[in-house]
Amino acid sequence: MKQITWRKGLFVVLAILQVSAALYMVWRWEDILQTGQSYRWQTAPVDPYDALRGRYVRFSFKGNKVPLVGEAVPGVGQRAYALIGRDEKGYAVLQGVQAERPRKGEYVRVKVQQVSAAGVSVNLPFDRFYLEESLAPEAEKAFRAAAGQESSVAVRIKNGDAVVEELYIENIPLLDYLKR
């Protein structure tokens, strides 16, 4: 009998833990969306599929090979920090990658893909935009039709973490563009 009471108590703790884990994730991303710095990145999207989370549009970025800053060389697959600047059109660009967290300036946490003399290739932590399953292939078609036009993604960044806000084709939000 004693044992079952124990299990009941621990179950309540587990239930709270499970809900808190979910809520913490929500809070973390919501906080970035509300208070993070806003950036626009130029992209080129493609359309894969995620069995568990549904369809999404994935995008790749131009110029994600960037010079190494500082002495320490990050290993492949490890975390590093990419410093963010803006180009003449106002789009965000990566200016350098370093192994330690920067003390000042805007940065985003990235995963190192390759290290060579030419620079460091990195994976940005935002590479996808989830869509209703019927819309994802349409979105891909729209991107292909609009090839040559500017497409971009709006991202909020805070303390190195990033959340995607919106995807744009010719400066029109994707869903509005598809409804046209």
Q: Which of 38, 44, 46, 54 binds another protein (CB under 8 A)?
A: 54
Contact string (CB under 8 A) for another protein, positions 141-170, x = contact = ----------------------xx------
| Full strand arrangement of the beta sheet holding 79-86 | 65-66, 119-123, 107-116, 79-86, 92-98
Provide the minimum distance between the beta carbon of 62 and another protein in the complex, in angstroms, as a whole number.
18
Closest CA relative to residue 152, chosen from 97, 86, 108, 101: 86
Provide the minimum distance between the beta carbon of 144 and another protein in the complex, in angstroms, as a whole number.
21
Annotate 114-160 with DSSP letters as a single string. Answer: EEETTEEEEE-S--EEE--TTHHHHHHHHHHHTTTS-EEEEEEEETB
Residues that bind another protein (CB under 8 A): 1-2, 4, 7-8, 10-12, 14-15, 17-19, 21-23, 25-26, 29-30, 33, 50-56, 75-78, 111, 123-133, 135, 163-164, 175
